[in-house]
A and B are shown apart, each in its own frame.
Chain A
Amino acid sequence: MRALLAVELRRNFARRTLMALSALVFLAVTMAGLTVYLTHGNTTPAQNRALFARGFLVQQCVRGEVGPVELPQTDAPSDRLPLEPPIPAANSAGRQEFCMFDPRAGIGPELDFPKPYRYSSLDEAFMGISIPLLMLAWILAASFAGAEWRAGTMATLLTWEPRRLRVFTTKALAAIVVGVVVYVAAQVLLAFALLPAGLARGTMSGVDPDWVWSLAGVLARGTLLAAVGAGIGFAIGMIGRNTAAALGIGFVYLSLIDGGFLGAIIPRLRPWLFVGNSIVWVGGKTELGIIEGRTPAQAALIVATYGLVSLVIAAAVFQRRDVT
């Protein structure tokens, strides 16, 4: 089975679809890095003062002290600027006031210069592209299964290895490994793409061992998500024996069910839908407000159940159905 898995991986990694989509991801991430680099910049002492003042104002506002205040004069270095004070948690004391505050509506100095890029916000970028990468893993796995049926090579393989469960498991593993590798590679590429902006157009403040652990956590949670996405894509591709069917079902689910239509009609469904739980899981925080009270561990369980149930159904169908 190991030899078969090695061959399946080799074949999967050599697929043109994978190469083409990986090239697109590479291009998109590189462009994102370039855009961040170009739209951020280091600040002058005067800009520092303005930024600090704005930050100070925002914090005042958060404390409910909205109104004219005397701004402190400072030449604080850019990596210590309170650029974006933390948003108070939902239902906390300062939340309402903060929401009513608009710093661009005349309070404080105008910010018409590029802000420094804070590299420690990389975890937000990782979370931001996790769902698109999950969909990519889904598409890759679905097309891996669909191409096999389209080329007719499944029948050939079954004449060499008639144990269908073994064939299914091997192929599913190959699809999941590829989905995970693409996910991790894209995130690592993103980290490198944003590094020049952090080094030359912003600040590396906050990049410490704790931050690295936190980032690794996001990456690990995203990896599980990519694996589940690939598993579901592969399962639907094997049931439909067709890439288009797998993509179509995915589209219908995301647009009609998860995308809001059914979730909106039947609100009780929402806590159990895939995307919301995926966001909670990859975000790693209960208080995100996506699904009220849902913990990341609960979300992970729900997301993993989606993947496992899909794979078990697909394996059962593959085991029983004629290969014609």
Chain B
Amino acid sequence: MGRPAPTGVVTAMPVIEAEHLRKTYRSVRRGHTLAVDDLSFSVPRGGVFGFLGPNGSGKTTTIRCLLGMVAPTEGRTRLLGAGPGDLHTVAPRVGSIVEAPAAFPTFSGRRNLRLLARAFAIPDTRVDAMLDRVGLAARADDPVKTYSLGMRQRLGIAAALLKDPEVLILDEPANGLDPAGIKEVRDLIRSLGNEGRTVFLSSHQLGEVQQVCDQVAILSHGRCIATGTVHEVLARGESAVVVRVEDPASGMRVLRDAGFDARTEPDGGIRVEIAPERAADITRALAARDMFVSELRPIEASLESVFLDLTKDADPATLTCPACGSETIAGKFCTVCGVPAGGGA
């Protein structure tokens, strides 16, 4: 069983790596579906890494590639330095939930975990401790089929924690949880990150992730469109300040005359596109014309707004497939005939 690195220590060696990862699913009915397209990222040791993107952006496929469940069409992945062929050497140090956590429905939660634990020589006491940690101890002996989706998520997290893992890969762990449950899971993930473990957290709930992650990678259409610390990614978003004065029309005129990009809000406020730390420039310009501010409120960029800004530009263009004439996405395979559509995404 691997030992987590000491709290706060972040080393240079990546724990998770993907290089030019590409995965195309082929099916008779749907033809070729490009799920991940030339994706590269690396996750440093320790802390919580958010892997973000809307549904269908390729998060789960990437996780499956990392865990060896899906073979990449191109590119490579490494988990704790191990490629798909030697994943068994690091599997005892990795806990994971992939998509919906699975359990045998007619067995109790405790029995499901004990079966897993016994197969890998983990003591039953650890099972009880993990059930307690995820708040499932009271219902642990009920059949899993009677659990709510949130309880199943907790059971999945407990299963992932059984191995006392160095790396945790959690795919949408807050799915199905109520607000209180989401907060509990968020706190749990944060505490796991603070213990020195590396938590790779996939989610489409950007607001939640923003509160818990140290670093993020944002996916869209199978590609990484932004990566870095949360602060770095937020800095790529637009920020603004809302200012309120007695006469909004005059205030607008003054600010525009002073060169600010300003527009009125429906509630009478004036939105000025400026970094919050330059708010003094606004008050100075207004005061110079004897106008005084009754409210000055910064609007911070959120991951959600950054994501929307970034994906606005990343939306794929459509074109006509050169082979079959159906509408397809530039740079991807045609979903009808499988021919590369060209155009470069």
Whether B102 contacts A152 by the Cβ 8 Å rule is: yes
Tell me whether A110 is interfacial, beta carbon within 8 Å. Answer: no
Is A158 part of the contact surface with B, judged by Cβ < 8 Å? yes
- CB of A158, distance to nearest CB on chain B (Å): 6
A162 sits at the interface (CB 8 A): yes
A268 to chain B, nearest CB (A): 33
The residues of B that contact A7 with a CB separation of less than 8 Å are 115-116, 118-119
B68 at the interface (CB under 8 A from A): yes
Number of interface residues of B (CB under 8 A): 31
Given A322-B64, A323-B69, A324-B70, A155–B91 Cβ distance below 8 Å?
no
Name the segment of A10-18, A71-79, A299-307 touching the other chain.
A10-18
Given contacts A322-B64, A322-B69, contact A155 B106 (CB under 8 A): no
Q: Which residue of B lies closest to A154 (CB)?
A: B102
Q: Cβ of B70: which chain A residues have Cβ within 8 Å of it?
A: 322-324
Q: Contact at A322–B71, with CB atoms within 8 Å?
A: yes
Per-position 1/0 for B219-240, Cβ under 8 A of A: 0000000000000000000000
Q: Which single member of A16, A157, A159, A163 contacts B106 (CB below 8 Å)?
A: A16
Q: Is residue B317 contacting chain A, with contact meaning CB distance below 8 A?
A: no
Is there an interface contact between A3 and B118, defined as CB atoms closer than 8 Å?
yes
Known: A3-B121, A162-B87, A162-B88. A151 touches B115 (CB 8 A): no
Shortest CB distance B41–A (Å): 20
Residues of A near B119 (CB, < 8 A) are: 3-4, 6-8, 160-161
What does DSSP make chain B's interface, helix, strand, loop or mixed? loop
Could you tell me if B91 and A161 are in contact, using CB atoms closer than 8 angstroms?
Answer: yes
Is B218's CB within 8 Å of the partner chain A? no
**Interface size (A, Cβ < 8 Å)?**
27
A-B CB pair tally, cutoff 8 Å: 80
Residue of B69, B107, B163 near A324 (CB, 8 A) is: B69
Residues of A within 8 A of B96 (CB): 159
Q: Please give, as numbers and ranges, the residues of chain A lying within 8 Å of B94 by CB-CB distance.
A: 159
A156 located at the interface, meaning its Cβ lies under 8 Å from any Cβ of chain B in the complex: yes
Partner of A155, one of B98, B105, B120, B163: B98
Assess whether B323 is interfacial by the CB under 8 Å rule. no
Interface of A: prevailing SS = helix
- Indicate with 1 or 0, residue by residue over B75-119, a CB within 8 angstroms of chain A CB atoms: 000000000100110010010101111111111000000011011
Q: Is B67 an interface residue (CB 8 A)?
A: yes
Q: How distant is the Cα of A158 from the Cα of B106 in the complex, in angstroms?
A: 21
Query: Among A6, A152, A160, which residue has the most Cβ atoms of chain B within 10 A?
Result: A160
Q: Which one, A3, A6, A153, A161, contacts B88 given CB within 8 A?
A: A161
Q: Tell whether, in the assembled complex, residue A155 and residue B102 are in contact, meaning their CB atoms are under 8 Å apart.
A: yes
A163 to chain B, nearest CB (A): 5
Considering the complex, give the chain B residue whose CB is closest to the CB of A163.
B88
Q: Is the CB of A160 within 8 A of B64?
A: no
Of B67, B100, B106, the residue contacting A152 (CB under 8 A) is B100
Contact call A14/B120, Cβ cutoff below 8 A: no
Q: In the complex the two chains form, what is the Cα distance from A210 to B96 in whole Å? A: 59
Among A3, A16, A151, A163, which residue has its beta carbon within 8 angstroms of that of B102? A151
For A8, list chain B residues within 8 Å (CB). Answer: 119
Chain A, range 126-185, C-beta contacts under 8 Å to B: 147, 151-153, 155-163
Interface residues of B (CB under 8 A from A): 25, 64, 67-71, 84, 87-88, 91, 94, 96, 98-107, 115-116, 118-121, 159, 163
Jot down 25 A-B pairs with beta carbons below 8 A, ordered by A.
A3-B119, A3-B120, A4-B120, A7-B118, A7-B119, A10-B115, A10-B118, A15-B106, A147-B104, A151-B102, A151-B103, A155-B102, A156-B101, A158-B67, A158-B68, A158-B69, A159-B67, A159-B69, A160-B116, A161-B120, A162-B67, A162-B87, A322-B25, A322-B71, A324-B25
Interface residues of A (CB under 8 A from B): 3-4, 6-8, 10-11, 14-16, 147, 151-153, 155-163, 320, 322-324
**Given A151-B102, A153-B103, 16 additional A-B pairs, CB 8 A:** A4-B119, A7-B115, A11-B104, A14-B107, A15-B106, A16-B106, A147-B104, A151-B103, A151-B104, A159-B91, A159-B94, A160-B163, A161-B120, A322-B69, A322-B70, A323-B70
